[in-house]
Structure 1
């Protein structure tokens, strides 16, 4: 009953947060889409061989996929990358490769990879909502015939992106070493029992030079002692009400200690009060 309650609360009670974080997600998912849609020769990694001359397959793992709020961002960013507009942030190299095409066949002709997005979450109730979100975003659920989910046109008017959903834990990922080209983690490390173990598992399953898109709320820095104290005082209640979520974790330090490279931006999210301190970035394995 609690899982069902919490999944419903996350599905219908996060609008204010999603509105506040929108500019950050738009930028990071555009950068991720640009990386994923580059051909193998552009230095984005070889991906998995599609066989018979088919384009390579690029795989993305989203850990703690929840109700699937990020699926719409995959759809927007991938559509822009394929169309060559880049949503204002995709690279010129992507535009040169993709051109104005939007159909799956044209994308294959242009040498763009096929994309698979694997969503993992320990909650079956969350995964039921995530399936709805994936279909609404134009993704094809694994096992569906054809693209676009329930009669949709696919991403970008035809780009076939396959989504699969798996029940599992961030601390024991059921995947082989280096199986993914990228991973996505948003609002997850606040609630896993051991962020260090989860980050180590992510490094294991993401191939060398792969990417990690990360957005997390974190503890206030020591320079803000009153907010930091309030976060610590309220964490027991928060853990009880929000499925183990901790307000006072120094997730930025854990990410750096885990060996991920790149720029990890620290910022306050407007209007989020005690949840305002955040870190985010597109990091490199």
Structure 2
């Protein structure tokens, strides 16, 4: 079940606090603001979000398949202000029952799942009708731009190999909509170095009438 990327995991864990200091921490706060109830975090990494969960969250199940990052996340869970359980699982097979959680958080992870449609179908399954998906992801650049072409080249060659399965040219907002969610808030902005600089941050609801 684990997905070991030992070099990338260590590079990420070292770089993440620096990125937080450069502005990512504010993005995390925006991502999690107002969440309530039982929450699932998919791809928790080293637990960088844990410190920002608001008091209205009663518990967090944090899924992380990478062994090194999962250990780091376990340590971060002890310092969290809300109860956090870190588990070994993947986005395409979430260890929860149907409609079990009130909210789901994805943070720089939908770029790395093998199949976005499968992962989002699982997220849709475990989220209760009316529940909310909070997403913060880097995404494909505007079509026809130089960065768009560079991202396509990167994904077709070595980028995914040395970046823990990451893909920089994914239209994640379209994938969220295609999975049955209704996007209610979406902010697009540039952050960090190319080719992963275009970002989105937003909210999407599982419709009340979904079956």
Q: 2:190 is matched with which residue?
A: 269
Would you identify which runs of 4 or more consecutive aligned residues in structure 1 move more than 4 Å? none
Cα distance in 2 between the residues matched to 1:190 and 1:3: 15
User: Residue 13 of structure 1 aligns to a residue in which SS?
Assistant: helix
Cα distance in 1 between the residues matched to 2:18 and 2:193: 9
User: Residue 59 of structure 2 aligns to a residue in which SS?
Assistant: strand
Q: 1:3 is matched with which residue?
A: 5
1:164 partnered with 2:107: no
Cα distance in 1 between the residues matched to 2:90 and 2:174: 22
Q: 1:188 is matched with which residue?
A: 109
Please list the CA deviations of residues 217-260 of structure 1 after superposition, one character each: whole Å capped at 9, or x if unmatched: 000121x5211001111223220111110011111110111121
Q: Does structure 2 retain, via aligned residues, the 8 Å contact 1:213–1:282?
A: yes
RMSD: 1.9
Q: Which has the higher helix share?
A: 1
Please list the CA deviations of residues 98-142 of structure 1 after superposition, one character each: whole Å capped at 9, or x if unmatched: xxxxxxxxxxxxxxxx711111111222110001111123xxxxx
Cα distance in 2 between the residues matched to 1:25 and 1:165: 18
Q: Which has the higher strand share?
A: 2
- Structure 2 residue runs of 5 or longer lacking an equivalent are 207-211
Larger radius of gyration: 1
Q: 1:21 is matched with which residue?
A: 24
Cα distance in 1 between the residues matched to 2:39 and 2:191: 29
User: Residue 239 of structure 1 aligns to a residue in which SS?
Assistant: helix
With normalisation by structure 2, the TM-score equals 0.88
With normalisation by structure 1, the TM-score equals 0.66
- Structure 1 residue runs of 5 or longer lacking an equivalent are 37-57, 82-113, 138-154, 156-160
Work out the number of aligned pairs and report it: 202
Q: Does structure 2 retain, via aligned residues, the 8 Å contact 1:180–1:205?
A: yes
Q: 2:171 is matched with which residue?
A: 250
CA change 1:264–1:238 in 2 (3 A) is farther
